[in-house]
Amino acid sequence: MSMNKYLDVSPEVAGALAAGKPVVALESTIISHGMPYPQNVETALAVENIIRENGAVPATIAVIGGRLKAGCTKEEVEYLGRTGTAVTKASRRDLAMLCARGQDGATTVTTTMIIAHMAGIKVFATGGIGGVHRGAETTMDISADLEELAHTPVMVVCAGAKSILDLGLTLEYLETHGVPVLGYGTKELPAFYTRHSGFAVDYQVDTPEELAAAFKASLELGFEGGMLVTNPIPEEYSMDPKVINAAIDEALAQAKASGIHGKETTPFLLAKVKELTGGDSLDSNIQLVFNNARLAAQTAACLAK
């Protein structure tokens, strides 16, 4: 475990790692940018509880006052939730500046993976990953999450990628970079709010034991990259693909008309989709995060054995 001079590992997380107990990393962009206060804080703490109930220790990751935090206190989670979008959404390119300036950052999939790996945490649960944006052949708008998955050996459990993205190109990009995409109990890439996308994953895996064995083999082979586990949203919370896709198409048209691009794109699209679906998308979002936290904790427990 490399102890970086900018890294603070909470006593609970440090103790668990030293004892070889399972730990699951959690991101903080979902707290600051993902949902409104106080739902964001309630959800974050509920996710931590689900991880504990499934036998692992949660480590919510963030940057606070220029310190990389592996394991946030309740007060820190509350602070991120209250401060909301005023907190910098921190990708890899932002970390050095935030540390140098002593500023705060909410971690994306990318930066959560970086800090988790620094701390020695192997499994990370999130909502969805970023990917290749629609129209990327002209805009080159590709999430840094995909590049991080290629280089950082952390297993990421998600509900697939949001269908605001180009899912086919996202899978192509991951394949080019050698990132295995596993479907939990499915041969098909889940599309975040819905269980189906029409695109095939690399492998179907049916138990946490199998997931742990696959990641253990990857680590023992000395591969530098991570592994992506796509866990479909539970059936009862899955949204009607027609409804969600119509909302996404409308949101994309509005984003284009308003000249929104770069890192503003995803928050804008998600807010629009939430507005257009009457808040159903937020409920679905919360449930799929809970579902991913359960699977990540069970997998981390198997990995620790």
* Residues recognised as catalytic: 27, 162
Helices vs. strands in the chain: H and E counts, helices first: 13, 11
Q: How many CA atoms, within 13 angstroms, populate the side-chain half-sphere of residue 98?
A: 25
**Closest C-alpha to 273, from 143, 136, 130, 164:** 164
Residues 6 or more apart in contact with residue 49 via CB below 8 angstroms = none
Calpha distance 236→265 (Å, rounded): 29
From residue 299, how far is each of 54, 65, 108 by CA, in Å? 10, 32, 21
* Main-chain phi, psi angles of 182, to 5 degrees: -105, 135
Between CA 57 and CA 2 the distance in angstroms is: 20
- Omega prior to 38 cis, within 30 of 0: yes
CA neighbor of 190 nearest in space, from 231, 133, 241, 219: 231
Q: What phi, psi does 39 have (nearest 5°)?
A: -60, -35
Q: Which pair of tokens denotes residue 137?
A: 């052949």
Please, which residues bridge with residue 26 across strands?
60, 125
